[in-house]
């Protein structure tokens, strides 16, 4: 199944730059371990049909974590798991195009559509739930029996569940039906009734956003926060009903905050009550445990996306927190979130209002750390957000080699990316900048990439139009990474008003792209095409396309809805003042 002797890796995933971040090193180790694990899960035992492709992928990832974790003792692996998997899984499950882990497949022609964040990120979370539910030793024994029974053969997920069911009294079939065979996630809320500053009644409830009255059984760690952290109370809850009363909290002191996901294992949209929301916004940086801070940032982000927190308030908190946060994994997440708000949820006016402050903050952070990885992360964000003449001139001087930042080493690839940014943001100089960068590069493959991307950065509208039209030909989409890079620049928010005319054709090409491209290319295409838009016109084009194609393949329709989710959400978020 895993094509023994014919496994190909992307060179840039294995041969890292000198200034590679900790995340990149972890990703490399994870990639090697993942593919090695396929010798057992994928080769030794193969799924019976491709609709269970997720099965080999989840166990390869599950085993990869167990392989690499001891090699990186300095890394908080619980935090790494949280930040690697939960946001990526939520990215799909919060959308109207959410798909289950286990999907139906009628024709192998459509097999590539099964791949995505759900099988690579939600499935590992669900597997951890299973391990917690059964116990590690019982799961291990069940997997050993599964590998022995189906050695050099094939088996389904349901056959594995039959084996695991013998190891526990829990009804794993029922558990699997909701967690593996259903899409989406619950909305979980907590509610307190207070009398004389004591808890009179505490309830926790879950609801189904799809209106199907589904129940997701899972273990919750319900924590009540007080001024003295030693007074905090944690309750382990087996949550398998739509609503549960927490009798053990009666007569406890009124807490400052309550959270049903204290250890970050539960999976849901956790809607914050007003008191807990304000406590988190005011105290997130006081949590000593990095895992709790990571959980808090994800929770705040999801509440912002659901309009329960003001985007500007969150953005200000993110900028302020960068002064005090020390964990590189959390810093990376904060920087990612700020970039999304900046480009996708701020209006053009708001973006310009925040540009100078954001640039000043990031420039200070670049020069205020000796950590090479953090310095590069801050620089990448500065490069991404730079809009003022002052910031762009700083970047231009760095690219020209006239200005150097102590401790920041830019490789040829970094300088090429910087040239692309400058060409986009200083359009009247784009041709000069890109030609000069082309002359600097000696590697012919990298020269070819620059030549390919250059038209997408042209300041001449007709040249960009011709480049986009050229992508209709499969031959011109052969280098998919180059295509995705170019589409990101074509559809960048700074170009959105002009490039929106490409949107309809880009959607029309999707079915052909699925047939002619790599399994990951359709979603990458959609993300690059849709990522720069926040206008009502863009929403109208997407909705009209779906309405005019009522028989469109469900798996591709789902991917459109997934990639368009931020376009839809921006309609409300951009209006926030």
Alpha helix (H) residue ranges in 69-150: 77-93, 117, 123-134, 136-149
19 & 158 share domain: yes
Q: Provide the pairing of β-strand 257-259 with 269-271.
A: unpaired
CATH number of the domain at 224, please: 2.60.40
Q: Is residue 90 part of a domain?
A: yes
Please enumerate in sequence order all residues whose Cβ is within 8 A of that of 426, keeping only pairs 6 or more positions apart, or say none. Answer: 392, 396, 433
Domain membership flag for residue 228? yes
Tokens in use for 512? Answer: 């052909």
Beta strand 153-155 with 45-47 is parallel
**Nearest in space to 477 (alpha carbons), one of 514, 447, 508, 513:** 513
- Hey, which residues does 154 pair with through a beta bridge? 46
| Claim to verify: residue 86 and residue 165 sit in the same structural domain | yes
pLDDT tens string, the chain, 577 residues long: the values are 566 666 677 788 898 887 777 778 888 998 999 888 988 988 889 888 888 888 888 888 888 888 999 999 988 999 999 999 999 999 999 999 999 999 887 777 777 778 899 999 999 999 999 999 999 999 999 999 999 999 999 999 999 999 999 998 899 999 999 999 999 999 999 999 999 999 999 999 999 999 999 999 999 999 999 998 889 999 999 999 999 999 999 999 999 999 999 999 999 999 999 999 999 999 999 999 999 999 999 999 999 999 999 999 999 999 999 999 999 999 999 999 999 999 999 999 999 999 999 999 999 999 999 999 899 999 999 999 999 999 999 999 999 999 999 999 999 999 999 999 999 999 999 999 999 999 999 999 999 999 999 999 999 999 999 999 999 999 999 999 999 999 999 999 999 999 999 999 999 999 999 999 988 999 999 999 999 999 999 999 999 999 999 999 999 999 999 999 999 999 999 988 6
Domain check: are 41 and 99 in the same one?
Answer: yes
Rg of the chain's alpha carbons, rounded to an integer? 25
Residues 76 and 154 both lie in one domain: yes
Residue 423: Cβ within 10 Å count: 23
Examine residue 435 and state whether it is found in any structural domain, yes or no.
no
CB of 490 within 8 A of CB of 468? yes
Residue 6 belongs to a domain: no
Number of domains in the chain: 3
Same domain as 566, residue 480: yes
CB 105 within 8 A of CB 51: yes
Q: How far apart are CA 195 and CA 200, in angstroms?
A: 6
Last residue of a domain, one of 127, 144, 179: 179
Per-residue pLDDT, 397: 98
pLDDT at 246: 94
171 and 31, same structural domain? yes
**Shared domain check, 163 and 51:** yes
Residues 84 and 197 in one domain: no
Is position 301 within any domain?
no
User: CA dist 120 to 77, 114, 175, Å?
Assistant: 17, 11, 20
Domain stop point among 280, 313, 335 = 280
Same domain? For 94 and 191 the reply is: no
Q: Is the pTM of this model over 0.85?
A: yes
User: For 96-115, how does the pLDDT look when each residue is reduced to its tens digit (9 = 90+)?
Assistant: 999 999 988 777 777 777 88
Q: Which residue has 């690219």 as its token pair?
A: 399
| Structural domain contains residue 191 | yes
Q: Is residue 141 part of a domain?
A: yes
Mean pLDDT score across all residues of the chain = 94
Name the residue range of residue 260's domain: 187-266+268-280
Could you tell me if 88 and 159 lie in one domain? yes
Structure tokens at 257: 């905050």
Residue matched to tokens 């329709």: 557
CATH of the domain at 169: 1.10.390.10
CA 406: distance to chain centroid? 31
Quick check: 285 and 293 in contact, CB under 8 A?
yes
434 in a structural domain: no
Rounded Cα gap, residues 41 and 47, in angstroms: 9
Tokens of 270: 């956790």
Q: Dig out the tokens for 9 from the structure.
A: 């890796």
Domain boundary among 255, 280, 305: 280
My answer on whether 40 and 109 are in the same domain is yes
Res 1: pLDDT: 55
Q: Are residues 24 and 79 in the same domain?
A: yes
Q: Pick from 142, 56, 160: which is nearest to 101 by CA? A: 56
């Amino acid at each position: 199944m895993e094509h023994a002797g014919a496994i190909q890796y992307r060179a840039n995933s294995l041969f890292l730059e000198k200034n590679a971040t900790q995340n990149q090193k972890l990703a490399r180790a994870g990639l090697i371990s993942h593919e090695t694990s396929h010798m057992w899960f994928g080769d030794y035992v193969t799924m019976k049909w491709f609709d269970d492709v997720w099965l080999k992928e989840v166990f390869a990832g599950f085993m990869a974590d167990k392989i690499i974790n001891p090699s990186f003792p300095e890394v908080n692996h619980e935090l790494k798991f949280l930040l690697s998997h939960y946001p990526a899984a939520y990215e799909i499950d919060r959308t109207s195009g959410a798909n289950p882990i286990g999907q139906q497949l009628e024709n192998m022609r459509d097999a590539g559509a099964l791949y995505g964040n759900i099988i690579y990120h939600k499935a590992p979370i669900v597997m951890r739930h299973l391990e917690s539910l059964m116990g590690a030793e019982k799961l291990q024994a069940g997997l050993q029996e599964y590998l022995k029974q189906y050695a050099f053969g094939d088996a389904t997920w349901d056959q594995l569940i039959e084996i695991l069911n013998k190891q526990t009294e829990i009804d794993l079939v029922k558990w699997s039906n909701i967690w593996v065979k259903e899409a989406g996630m619950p909305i979980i809320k907590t509610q307190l009734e207070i009398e004389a500053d004591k808890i009179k009644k505490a309830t926790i409830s879950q609801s189904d956003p799809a209106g199907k009255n589904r129940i997701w059984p899972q273990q919750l760690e319900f924590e009540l926060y007080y001024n003295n952290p030693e007074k905090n109370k944690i309750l382990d809850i087996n949550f398998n009903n739509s609503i549960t009363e927490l009798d053990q909290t009666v007569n406890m002191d009124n807490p400052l905050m309550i959270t049903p996901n204290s250890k970050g294992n539960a999976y849901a949209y956790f809607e914050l009550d007003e008191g807990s929301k304000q406590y988190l916004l005011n105290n997130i940086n006081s949590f000593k445990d990095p895992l709790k801070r990571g959980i808090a940032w994800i929770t705040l982000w999801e509440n912002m996306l659901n309009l329960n927190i003001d985007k500007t308030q969150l953005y200000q908190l993110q900028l302020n927190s960068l002064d005090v946060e020390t964990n590189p994994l959390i810093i990376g997440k904060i920087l990612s979130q700020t970039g999304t708000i900046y480009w996708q949820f701020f209006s053009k006016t708001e973006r310009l209002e925040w540009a100078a402050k954001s640039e000043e903050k990031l420039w200070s952070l670049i020069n205020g750390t000796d950590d090479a990885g953090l310095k590069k992360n801050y620089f990448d964000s500065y490069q991404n957000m730079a809009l003022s003449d002052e910031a762009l001139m700083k970047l231009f001087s760095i690219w020209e080699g006239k200005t150097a930042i102590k401790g920041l080493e830019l490789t040829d690839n970094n300088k090429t990316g910087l040239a692309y940014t400058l060409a986009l943001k200083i359009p009247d100089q784009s041709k000069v900048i890109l030609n000069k960068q082309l002359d600097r590069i000696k590697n012919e493959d990298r020269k070819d990439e620059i030549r390919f991307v250059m038209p997408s950065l042209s300041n001449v509208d007709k040249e960009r139009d011709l480049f986009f039209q050229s992508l209709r030909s499969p031959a011109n989409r052969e280098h998919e990474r180059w295509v995705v890079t170019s589409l990101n620049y074509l559809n960048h928010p700074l170009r959105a008003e002009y490039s929106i005319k490409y949107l309809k054709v880009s959607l029309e090409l999707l079915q052909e792209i699925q047939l002619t491209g790599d399994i990951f290319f359709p979603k990458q295409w959609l993300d690059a095409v849709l990522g720069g838009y926040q206008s009502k016109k863009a929403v109208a084009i997407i909705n009209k396309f779906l309405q005019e194609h009522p028989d469109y393949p469900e798996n591709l329709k789902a991917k459109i809805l997934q990639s368009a989710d931020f376009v839809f959400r921006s309609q409300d978020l951009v209006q926030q003042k």
